[in-house]
Amino acid sequence: MTASGSSTAVGKFGPGNQVGFVGFELPDGDFGWMQVRVSDFRSPGFPNEVELIDFAYNNVAGAPITAGDTGVPEPNAAALGLFAMGASGLIAWRRRRKEVSSE
């Protein structure tokens, strides 16, 4: 949505239940997205029901945000691998400590 209140359609939701993203711009220049489900089309192109599933915005004026990005990083394979190595090292250390204390 632009500051003047008009909107520009880039894509469209088809008939039936559809889930998609809608981008917006707030008056202060912040960009955001909403994930919505539209359904129950009564007349061509106009849904009777719209459900808000999720939303987010970037509070840095003019800075972009990717649709679906909530700012919470997903764990990557390297981080999970390091976590697994640390956990196995901790188990080995405890096992060794137990063996030494029983001697």
pLDDT at 91: 73
pLDDT confidence band for 90 (50 / 70 / 90): low
pLDDT of residue 23 exceeding 80: yes
Which pLDDT value is given to residue 3? 40
* Per-residue tokens: 60: 């840095």
Q: Say how far apart CA 74 and CA 86 lie, in whole Å.
A: 19
At residue 37 the predicted structure's pLDDT band, cuts being 50, 70 and 90, is confident
Model confidence pLDDT, tens digit, residues 43-71: 666 777 888 888 888 888 888 888 878 77
Sign of CA dihedral 47, 52, 56, 59: positive
Residue by residue, DSSP assigns 22-88 as: EEEE-TTS-EEEEEEEEEEEEETTEEEEEEEEEEEEE-STT----TT--S-PPPPHHHHHHHHHHHH
Q: How confident is the model at residue 45, as a pLDDT?
A: 63
Ramachandran angles phi, psi of 100, nearest 5°: -70, -40
Question: Is this structure's pTM higher than 0.75?
Answer: no
Does 4 have pLDDT greater than 60?
no
